[in-house]
Structure 1
């Protein structure tokens, strides 16, 4: 493939297996980086993810154009896939292929978390307190559903709190996946549109109410007052566009408490137009709690707050 064709392909977020197949020599270099980071422990992983989160070029949208920049982007995507996969395996304690629910655990977890199939329901905190401890295989849930784009479950209390925080403002969900969070908010009267570039078509069955639109294009076209994103990919390039969009007053991120788990912390710290807090009361309403969830709320600074 030519350089521009590869660049366009990388925008579709190919799997690690696909990247390794097309670029075996790049993968050899990536393995060396992973080994070095692993030997340095948690600090090494933090440094690696921070490095990966930085822009790969000087252009506004940071799309790689030269051969060297494309090579860097290939390695960046490989590293991000590998870091996330290692975290999921460590969480479950076993390989994904070894996980199987017995009938009791499967029934309890299905009734608590899903309506049917992988269609999530707003989880009652009371039901969670009663049923979740009964499921002995509960730690297998997240490693099993993440490959289908499910990174957490939303409690009904969280949806109520987010509804109050958003109010009547025009809202956009970016990288919305199957649009679950937007549908829950819409059911409570929130004016929200779910968008996703739908690059995970092999894993997610996108419903008609999720607009096929990448985050940058959606922000530029829709000019929302509030933006919501649930579990943005580690080191992604699109969140910086949220901070550049003049109409955005509030940005709400639901993700991991670990900087190596989700989001672009490089841009969170680098941006200067928003104040942000880790809202621990909201974070406790994201399930399951054991995986360490974080709700970050960015509020645009008032003119008097800017230095």
Structure 2
């Protein structure tokens, strides 16, 4: 068995989806360095400096593939794991900072009171934490009544819920797919794919199910990583809602020949979702932000966006 803080043990931890707290406990020296660096950056309140840090964090995401197999002993591997830990800690801390800034929740538990909980449940959920396509008309009537709006996302994010989908968004996405073969990758509990399928546009949901401690994966969510799912199904359209920041799989999506359209739903804050370094580096697709669709992602306080990547002719 590996020692709790050995390079191999920390490497295994990094292969999953550790929380900031768990990773900081396993990598105390790296966390101390990251915390000191970010404290200085946030104290200066320089938006451009934060953007540069985000870009740097994203560019490091794909390094070190030579360590994925083979010899893992020695100083070189230990230094690599330390670098990867600092990178992941930086990303998780940036995400937490952006999220707490957006919601106003800094620490401690959050709870809805009875009235706010009742309104939110009726408006957003079918039962329990199973989401439903939200009527935009009903949302506009009821959302202003909630006095604890900023508590909603902190309460549901721990269960893998990062946004809510309006009926109008589902209809618009179905029109974009236009009957073509489609899959959703990193789909979580498969809510978006399920809504589209129920709307009459079949979409296969897939996820590597690494968040099994937080997300209940139904049987219709295929247990598969993004690229394996694309290679198996050869879809013309790929969707991803709230792709992890600095992820490694999106660069591979642009290289899959079957994919003609890639639709991303995410935050307009670049260190919350997506791999923007890869978005800007790829040359095979034109990218368009569809602000009319972003306005249909709920709640509006998320400042969500929808980006459509369309393969260029001859690419």
CA shift, 1:236, in A, is: 1.1
CA 1:134–1:241 in structure 2 vs 1: closer, same or farther (change >3 Å)? same
Q: 2:196: which partner in 1?
A: 185
**What 5-or-longer segments of structure 2 have no aligned partner?**
none
Correspondence list, 1:288-307, <5 A: 288-303=299-314
2:55 matches 1:44 = no
State whether structure 2 residue 35 is matched by structure 1 residue 31.
yes
For residues 58-137 of structure 1, the aligned pairs below 5 Å read 66-95=77-106, 97-137=108-148
| 1:197 lines up with 2:208 in the alignment | yes
**Corresponding residue number in structure 1 for 2:231:** 220
1:124-178 C-alpha deviation (Å, 9 max, x unpaired): 0100010001111112111211121111100000000100110221111111011
Q: Is the 2:61–2:247 contact (alpha carbons within 8 Å) kept by the matching residues of 1?
A: no
Listed one character per residue, the Cα deviations across residues 205-248 of structure 1 (whole Å, up to 9, x for unaligned) are 11111111112322233322111000011111111111111111
TM-score, normalised via structure 1 length = 0.92
Contact 1:56 1:62 in 2 (8 A): no
Q: In 2, are the aligned partners of 1:57 and 1:69 still within 8 Å (CA)?
A: no
Structure-2 separation of matches of 1:131 and 1:57: 44
How far residue 261 of structure 1 moved from its aligned partner, in angstroms, is 2.0
Q: Is the 8 A contact 1:53 1:264 kept in 2?
A: yes
Stretch of structure 1 that moved more, 60-69 or 126-135: 60-69
- More displaced stretch, 149-158 vs 96-105: 96-105
TM-score of the pair, normalised by structure 2 = 0.90
Q: Distance in 2 between the 1:131 and 1:104 partners?
A: 12
Cα displacement (A) at 1:263: 0.7
* Aligned residues of 1:195 and 1:212 also touching (Cα < 8 A): yes
Could you tell me how far 1:41 is from its partner in structure 2? 2.6
CA offsets, 1:59-85, max 9 Å, x none?
Answer: 779959743332222111111111111
- Give distance in 2, aligned partners of 1:5 and 1:195: 28
Query: For 1:229 and 1:60, how far apart are their aligned partners in 2?
Result: 24
Between the aligned partners of 1:278 and 1:187, the Cα distance in structure 2 is: 26
Q: What SS does the aligned partner of 2:153 have?
A: helix
1:8: Cα distance to partner? 4.2
Three-state SS of the structure 2 residue aligned to 1:244 is coil
Q: Is the 8 A contact 1:92 1:143 kept in 2?
A: yes
Structure 1: runs of 5+ lacking an equivalent: none
Within 2, Cα distance between the matches of 1:150 and 1:57? 26
SS at the partner of 2:216? coil
- 1:11 lines up with 2:15 in the alignment: yes
Which one of 8, 23, 26 corresponds to residue 22 of structure 1?
A: 26
Distance 1:139 1:258 in 2: 17
Structure 1 partner of 2:242 = 231
Decide which moves more: 81-90 or 264-273: 81-90
